[in-house]
């Protein structure tokens, strides 16, 4: 159980249109997993299902398990594993990726997702906080176990912001993981919430690069420490991607959804724009191993950050390496954000013709 909590320690948030800088809702997942490699691929519409783009584990050549994604009608979904919803004794488990693949194929709205949960065979094999937005601007978390779920609507959030890590509010009190990471996220979001200025880059190139620790009340990346222990920061050794799915304005077409993707280890990576009809080649799977070229490159940098191989050395982060890689990556990210926004603007003009 402890090993699982380390491997699947995601941090996530849903941002309403009223809290975002662009007036579009946002869905963010900082993904932690025991699988170091990820790729992004598109699944074409077939047999009455919707087309979608999603993030997959390296090697998933059947595209069975989507770990986050968005479809052609403006439905976007992700999850964080929850460790306090039920005892970890189920024979069927780890089906969250499969459920999200079904949702991307079949769901247009949050109500469609509820229907999916109501009708899918039980037990579902999930213990998760599923987060999502749709083309209406609606958003919610569904704290879901094998048989039931509880909805937390974005419209009920006072500041238009919801955050989840690796425990559920409806689960066993004090159980699960991610309490410090949740506090980290709220602290880092606070100034943006006050100014209603949250945007996709707030997550990919600020929060997912931040080594702020709420108990210490400081960001060690801004200090002079070289070696720190990898414990309770939002970016972790097991972090494999930071992705923000940006929704649309009320009068916009769902094809204008953006999936801002920072693949690999975010502090060493940079963000690329993805749309339902635009997928950068370096994010797609290549070769017999079905791995992303860019993810391979970022993981090489990550291994320089976690360079100590002997003993317990894998738990130590070289912050000097982080600082150098992060400066370079953030610069490239900001350039790609400009390109991505321009691409969306041009597509919006074409749709109006």
pLDDT score recorded for residue 5: 36
Give the right CATH number for 2-352 from 1.20.210.10, 3.60.60.10, 2.50.20.10, 3.30.70.1230.
3.60.60.10
Distance CA(72)–CA(225), nearest Å, equals 46
pLDDT score recorded for residue 90: 65
Distance CA(193)–CA(186), nearest Å, equals 9
Kindly report the pTM of this predicted structure.
0.96
pLDDT score recorded for residue 87: 73
At 257, is the secondary structure helix, strand, or coil?
A: coil
pLDDT score recorded for residue 138: 98
Give the gyration radius of the chain's Cα atoms: 19
pLDDT above 70: percentage of residues in the chain: 97
- The answer to whether the beta carbons of residues 185 and 11 sit under 8 Å apart is yes
CA dihedral 74, 113, 82, 203 (to 10 degrees): 10
User: Can you say whether the dihedral through the CA atoms of 270, 241, 101, 137 is positive or negative?
Assistant: negative
What residues in the chain have per-residue pLDDT under 70? Answer: 1-8, 88-90
pLDDT score recorded for residue 4: 38
Q: Where are the domains of the chain?
A: 2-352
Q: Which residue has the tokens 């919803």?
A: 85
pLDDT score recorded for residue 196: 96
pLDDT score recorded for residue 2: 38
| Cβ-proximal residues to 152 (8 Å cutoff; 6+ apart), any chain | 140, 141, 142, 143, 162, 169
């Amino acid at each position: 159980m402890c090993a699982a909590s380390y491997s699947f320690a995601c941090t996530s948030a849903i941002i309403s249109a009223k809290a975002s800088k662009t007036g579009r809702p946002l869905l963010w997942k900082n993904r932690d997993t025991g699988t170091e490699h990820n790729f992004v691929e598109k699944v074409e519409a077939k047999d009455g299902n919707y087309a979608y783009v999603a993030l997959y584990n390296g090697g998933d050549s059947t595209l069975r398990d989507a770990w986050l994604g968005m479809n052609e009608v403006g439905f976007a979904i992700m999850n964080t594993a929850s460790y306090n919803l039920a005892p970890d004794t189920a024979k069927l488990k780890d089906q969250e990726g499969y459920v999200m693949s079904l949702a991307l194929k079949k769901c247009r709205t949050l109500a469609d997702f509820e229907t999916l949960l109501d009708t899918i065979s039980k037990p579902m094999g999930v213990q998760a906080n599923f987060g999502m937005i749709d083309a209406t601007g609606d958003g919610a978390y569904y704290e879901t176990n094998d048989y039931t779920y509880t909805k937390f609507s974005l419209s009920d959030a006072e500041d238009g912001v919801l955050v989840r890590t690796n425990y559920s509010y409806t689960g066993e009190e004090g159980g699960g993981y991610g309490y410090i990471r949740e506090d980290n996220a709220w602290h880092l979001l606070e100034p943006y919430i006050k100014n209603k200025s949250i945007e996709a880059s707030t997550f990919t190139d600020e929060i997912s690069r931040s080594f702020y620790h709420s108990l210490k009340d400081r960001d060690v990346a801004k200090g002079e420490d070289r070696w720190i222990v990898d414990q309770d920061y939002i970016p972790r050794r097991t972090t494999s991607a930071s992705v923000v799915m940006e929704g649309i304005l009320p009068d916009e077409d769902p094809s204008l959804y953006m999936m801002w993707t920072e693949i690999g280890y975010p502090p060493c990576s940079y963000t690329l724009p993805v749309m339902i009809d635009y997928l950068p080649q370096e994010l797609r799977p290549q070769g017999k191993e079905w791995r992303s070229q860019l993810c391979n490159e970022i993981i090489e940098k990550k291994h320089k950050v976690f360079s100590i191989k002997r003993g317990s050395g894998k738990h130590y982060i070289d912050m000097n390496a982080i600082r150098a890689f992060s400066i370079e990556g953030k610069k490239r990210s900001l350039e790609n954000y400009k390109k991505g926004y321009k691409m969306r603007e041009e597509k919006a003009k074409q749709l109006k013709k």
